[in-house]
Amino acid sequence: MSSRNIFLTLLLGSFKLIAGMSLSGNYTPTYIQCPSNVTFVRPASEGLSDYEREWRAKRTPAVVDSLQSYLKNVNIADFDIDVYINALGAHESAVPVIGFTLSGGGTRAEMSAFGMIRAFDNRTADSVNAGTGGLLQAATYVSGLSGGGTALGLIAMSDFQPLDESLEQGLVNYTSPPGTSPVYNEIASKAEAGFNISITDIIAIGDNHQSLQIVNSSVDQYSRLWSDIQSFPGFSSGLTPMAILMLNEVIPAGLPGSASYNGTLIPAQESKFNGTFGSWQGRANAFTPIQYIGVQYQNGQPINNICVNGFDTAAFVIGVAESQTNGLVGQFARRDKIPYPPNEDVLEEEREEAQLLTPLQAFCMHTGPTRFAQYEHSDAGLQSQTDLLLVDGSEFWQENPLPPLLQKVRGLDFIVVNDAGGSELSTGWANGTTLHNSADMAKTFGLPFPKLPSVNTMLNLNHTLFPVFYGCYETDVPLMLYAADAPYTEYSNITELGTDFDNSQISLLWNNTLTLYSQDSNQIAANWTTCIACAATHRSLERLGKETPDACKQCFDKYCWNGEVDDSEPGFLSPSLILDPSESWTEWNASFYG
C-alpha cells in the first residue's frame, strides 16, 4: 500500500503488459451460473438485512462483556459497573451501539486511522494504561472512506489483528518498492476477460498488495475477497466490529439527473462486510450481495442467470474507496468543478496505446454493470442506467463517512469521528468544514445529527485542537466525539501523499494519536478518558431510566459543547506541539525525517 509517489511511473507502462505476458488471473473474476438461493436485490425500506440482525445478536453479548472490562479500567466514580452490566443483560435493547468513523485524507488519514483503532484497542498495553483501550472491543461499527477506508480495509482483512502485530509483520508497510512491479499482469488479465479497467484497478494492485497478504501463507493477496470477511473467525462470531466503506456514485453524463456533461456526483453508497452493496437513501435505495456485483441485473435479477465470481476482491473494493488518494489523476469525478489535471493527455495516450475501449472519463472512475436497472425501489434515473460509476467516498466535499452510521435502523448511540482530512486549512489542520458538510448531508436525508457550532466558533473554542463532545444535551441524536487530528507529540500534518515511513516513524505518529485520544493519559484534560466512557454509555443509561452519574455530569460540563458561540474572526490555526510547544515544525521536520 501507500506507494503513491510511484503511481505515475506505474501507470505509464502498465498496460503495455497486456500483450505477451503470462497472466496469473488471480485478480480476474470468472463467469458462473448464478446460485439459485440468493436474493439478489432487496429494498432498503426492509431495514437491516436478516444477516446484519443475526450478526448484531452475536455482537451484542460480546459488547456487554467488553464494556465491563473497559469500564473497570476507566472507572467512573460512584458508578456501579456490575449493576449496569446486569441491567444490560436483562435489557438487550439498552446495550450501547458504538461506532467509529475514519476520515479520508490520504496517507496522513491512514496513519491517524490506524492510530485511532490502536488507541481504543484493549490489546495495546499503552492504550489500556492511558485509559482509552477497550472501547474498540465494545464498538459495533467502523466506517471508513478514502484513506480511512484503506486503513479499515487492512484492519478488517486481518480480522482486526492488533496493529502493532501488523506493523511488525510488514502488513502496514510504507516503504516504496523499487521500480515497476510485475503485478500489473493481474490487471491485464481482468481486461482480457472483458471487464472495464479503471484507475481503481491500478490503485487496487499498486496500493494494496502488502496489506492484503496473509503472513507465511501462499494465498494470493489479490484473490482475497471482500466477502471473505463474513467467514473470518472474529467477525463471524461477533467478536469484531462490522466494517463499512463509503463510496460515491456518479450519475453518467447524458442520463436523467446528471446536470453536467461530465457526470454528476451523488453521495452515500455503502459497501460493507458480509455483504451488501447499495444505499439507504439517494438513488439505489436497495442492497445487493457484494459477491455478485460483477454483472448487470435487470429488475433485481441477473440477466440470463449469469453471475460473476470474484469481482469483489478486497484490493478492488478498497481501491474504489480510495481512488482519489492517488493525487495525480484523482478527482476526475468532479472535473466539472476543477480544471483537468495537467497529465490528462498522457493518460489519454496510454489508454489509446493499450487499446482500451473504455472512454477516458470511465477510465477515471470504476464503471461497472449496475444491479439496479429497472429495479422498482430505485430512483427512476438509476433504473434506466446500464452502468454504475463509482468513485472515492471523499469526492463529495465530505471527509467523514458518517451517513452509514447515522441510519436510524442501526441505532447508533455514540460515534467517534476521527477527522484527519487535512484539506481545510493550508497548514493541514481542520476547521470543521467537512463535519458541517456531513451535517448538511444528514439534514438532506433526514438523518439524526447533533447541533454543531459554526466553523468560527469551532476554531475560537479550540474544537479542532482538543477533542470535544456534541449532542450531550440533546435527545434522539447520537452523541458524537469529534476528534480532529492535531499535533500533540508529532506534527502529524504530514502530506496526504506521503510515503516512505519506517516503522519507528509510524509508531511515533500512532503515539500522537493515542496522546490525542487519551489527552496524554488525562494530564492535559482531567477525567477526560472517564468522559469518553460516560459518553459511550450515556444513551444506554437513559434507556435504562438511570440517572447520569455525577462524575459524568461534571465531565460533560467541561468537555461537551454547551451552545457557547464565538463567531468572531478566528486567528490562523498554526499550532505548536501541544506537549512540547518549544519544538518548532522546522525542527521537528528535520529530526523526524533526519
Query: Rounded to an integer, what distance in angstroms lies between the CA atom of residue 484 and that of residue 334?
Result: 25
Name the nearest CA neighbour of 395 among 330, 484, 312: 330
Q: Which three cell numbers stand for residue 276?
A: 451488501
Q: Assign 3-state DSSP to the chain and report helix, strand, coil percentages, each to 5.
A: 40, 15, 45
Burial class, 454, CB count within 10 angstroms (exposed 0-12 / middle 13-18 / buried 19+) = middle
Nearer to ligand NAG by C-beta: 72 or 91? 72
Nearer to ligand NAG by C-beta: 145 or 477? 145
Tell me which of 148, 275, 282, 403 binds ligand NAG, using CB under 6 A: 275
Angstrom distances, CA of residue 284 to CA of 294, 306, 384 = 16, 22, 12
User: What's the min distance (Å) between Cβ of 193 and ligand NAG?
Assistant: 9
Work out the number of other CB atoms within 10 angstroms of the CB of residue 36: 6
Under the binding rule (CB under 6 A), the answer on residue 279 touching ligand NAG is no
Strands 414-419 and 98-102: parallel
Between residue 117 and residue 146, which ones bind ligand NAG under the rule CB under 6 A?
122-123, 137
Nearer to ligand NAG by C-beta: 298 or 554? 554
Binding mask of the shown chain, residues 531 to 560, with x at each position contacting ligand NAG by CB under 6 A: --------------------x--x------
Between residue 59 and residue 78, which ones bind ligand NAG under the rule CB under 6 A?
65-66, 69, 77
Nearer to ligand NAG by C-beta: 223 or 385? 385
Is the dihedral angle over the CA atoms 325, 327, 328, 333 positive or is it negative? positive
User: What's the min distance (Å) between Cβ of 513 and ligand NAG?
Assistant: 10
Strands 98-102 and 141-144: parallel
Nearer to ligand NAG by C-beta: 473 or 585? 585
Under the binding rule (CB under 6 A), the answer on residue 299 touching ligand NAG is no
Strands 479-484 and 306-309: unpaired
User: What's the min distance (Å) between Cβ of 15 and ligand NAG?
Assistant: 16
Strands in 487-581 per DSSP E: none
Between residue 21 and residue 60, which ones bind ligand NAG under the rule CB under 6 A?
35, 37-38, 51
Segment contacting ligand NAG by CB under 6 A, of 10-18, 150-158, 303-311, 573-581: 573-581
Binding mask of the shown chain, residues 388 to 427, with x at each position contacting ligand NAG by CB under 6 A: ------------------------------------xx-x
User: What's the min distance (Å) between Cβ of 476 and ligand NAG?
Assistant: 28
Between residue 226 and residue 255, which ones bind ligand NAG under the rule CB under 6 A?
230-231
Q: Are 144 and 540 in contact (CB under 8 A)?
A: no
Under the binding rule (CB under 6 A), the answer on residue 436 touching ligand NAG is no
Nearer to ligand NAG by C-beta: 281 or 358? 358
Tell me which of 22, 90, 179, 216 binds ligand NAG, using CB under 6 A: 216
Q: Are 514 and 118 in contact (CB under 8 A)?
A: yes
Strands in 4-140 per DSSP E: 30-33, 42-43, 98-102
Q: Please give the DSSP secondary-structure letter assigned to residue 568.
A: S
Tell me which of 192, 387, 542, 583 binds ligand NAG, using CB under 6 A: 387
Q: Are 298 and 373 in contact (CB under 8 A)?
A: yes
Segment contacting ligand NAG by CB under 6 A, of 16-24, 240-248, 260-268, 407-415: 260-268
Query: Rounded to an integer, what distance in angstroms lies between the CA atom of residue 13 and that of residue 347?
Result: 11
Under the binding rule (CB under 6 A), the answer on residue 456 touching ligand NAG is yes
Segment contacting ligand NAG by CB under 6 A, of 332-340, 403-411, 442-450, 538-546: 332-340
Binding mask of the shown chain, residues 343 to 382, with x at each position contacting ligand NAG by CB under 6 A: ---------------xx--x----xxx-------------
Between residue 142 and residue 181, which ones bind ligand NAG under the rule CB under 6 A?
169-170, 173, 175, 177
Q: How many CA atoms lie within 13 A of 394 on its CB side?
A: 33
Query: Rounded to an integer, what distance in angstroms lies between the CA atom of residue 541 and that of residue 369?
Result: 46
Query: Rounded to an integer, what distance in angstroms lies between the CA atom of residue 205 and that of residue 207?
Result: 6
Number of residues that bind ligand NAG (CB under 6 A): 71
Query: Rounded to an integer, what distance in angstroms lies between the CA atom of residue 263 and that of residue 253?
Result: 4
Between residue 86 and residue 115, which ones bind ligand NAG under the rule CB under 6 A?
none
**Closest residue by beta carbon to ligand NAG:** 170
Tell me which of 24, 180, 298, 433 binds ligand NAG, using CB under 6 A: 433
Q: Which three cell numbers stand for residue 491?
A: 506534527
Between residue 494 and residue 533, which ones bind ligand NAG under the rule CB under 6 A?
508, 511, 515, 520, 526-527
User: What's the min distance (Å) between Cβ of 32 and ligand NAG?
Assistant: 12
Query: Rounded to an integer, what distance in angstroms lies between the CA atom of residue 30 and that of residue 373?
Result: 22
Nearer to ligand NAG by C-beta: 14 or 477? 14
Q: Which residues of 124-150 are buried (b: 16+ CB within 10 A; e: fewer)?
A: bebbbebbbbbbbbbbbbbbbbbbbbb
Nearer to ligand NAG by C-beta: 189 or 493? 493
Between residue 176 and residue 205, which ones bind ligand NAG under the rule CB under 6 A?
177, 194-196
Nearer to ligand NAG by C-beta: 153 or 368? 368
Work out the number of other CB atoms within 10 angstroms of the CB of residue 18: 19
Under the binding rule (CB under 6 A), the answer on residue 491 touching ligand NAG is yes
Nearer to ligand NAG by C-beta: 159 or 520? 520
Q: Which three cell numbers stand for residue 237?
A: 462470531
Under the binding rule (CB under 6 A), the answer on residue 85 touching ligand NAG is no
Q: Which residues of 456-488 are buried (b: 16+ CB within 10 A; e: fewer)?
A: bbbbbbebbbbbbbbbbeeeebbbbbbbbbbbb
